[in-house]
Amino acid sequence: MFAALLCQVLLATAAFAIPTSKARFVQRAARRATGFAHQSQPNTLSDGTAQTNLITNTSHVAYSPNWAGAVLVADTATYTSVTGSFVVPTPSEPSGGSGTYSASAWVGIDGDTCQTAILQTGVDFTVSDSDVSYDAWYEWFPDFAHDFSGISFAAGDTVTVTVTATSTTGGTATITNESNGQTVSNTFSDQPALCETNAEWIVEDFDSGGSLVPFANFGTVTFTGASATTNSGSTVGPAGASVFDIEQNNQVITDVSTTDNSVTISYVG
């Protein structure tokens, strides 16, 4: 009975998740031939065929074709800020692969059980025939994502990503490269209203033209100092969050675990 109820809860949570930008890679394509036309798609559960192939440190895991990470879910307006730091990985082509592969690491408010708006910011990493590139972006869905300028990254840099809702219709997205001292920020106003019921730390394989883009082997992304601030002023961590692993072609290709203040997402494909 408990397992059935848990399955229903996970299914309900995953069915409404909205990933990042509709058009982030459309912008990229204008200046970079390796860009993908990114289309927003819900985070849907896989059929679980490969679940027995995964060894995980997290008890209750849902399986998705495009989202890996942790999502806190509240019944009422709760979360006003989400932050986390990670070391920029060196993406690589999966074993036997060639061409262009991408992934994106981001934090956000809403986009899971709340579909109407999402405030998020993060870093894309792309490898194309051994050439690696990184791009920082911010977004208030349903508007598309916009690239930050004035910030650069190298593999091994420590990056902090933070979103803060100063109201349900306004807020900020900030990215700081702790290694080179660069900080960029965008202020939003008069946006579609957030529900403030979700807080998330995600690595994503996104959709382009109706299919997922080739997913980069990103190694491991660990969000440290991962926390969400509530409207009462308290701070909570990702322990106990809903966890998603990516399953594609009947194979689980990520492994996610959480602690009180971290979310670790590893590529295991």
Over range 101-120, report the average pLDDT: 91
Q: Give 45's pLDDT tier (boundaries 50, 70, 90).
A: low
Within 10 angstroms of residue 214's Cβ, the number of other Cβ atoms is 18
What's the confidence (pLDDT) of residue 166? 98
What's the confidence (pLDDT) of residue 14? 39
**Does the structure show a pLDDT above 50 at 164?**
yes
**Active-site annotation holds for 178:** no
Q: Are 148 and 136 in contact (CB under 8 A)?
A: yes
- Does 7 reside within a domain? no
Catalytic residue among 139, 196, 200, 204: 204
- Does 50 reside within a domain? no
- What is the average pLDDT value for the chain, to the nearest integer? 82
**Does the structure show a pLDDT above 50 at 57?**
no
What's the confidence (pLDDT) of residue 9? 39
Lowest mean pLDDT among 51-60, 95-104, 118-127, 205-214: 51-60
- Does 28 reside within a domain? yes
Q: Give 12's pLDDT tier (boundaries 50, 70, 90).
A: very low
Domain of 80, CATH number, reads: 2.60.120.700
Question: Per 3-state DSSP, what percentage of the chain is helix, strand, and coil (rounded to 5)?
Answer: 10, 50, 45
Count of structural domains within the chain: 1
Range list of β-strands (E), the chain:
61-64, 67-73, 79-87, 100-109, 118-128, 131-141, 146-147, 158-167, 170-177, 182-188, 198-204, 207-208, 211-212, 220-230, 235-236, 242-248, 251-252, 254-258, 262-267
Token representation of residue 120: 């998020």
Cα–Cα distance, 81 to 208 (Å, whole number):
29
- Does 52 reside within a domain? no
Domain that holds residue 93: 21-45+59-267
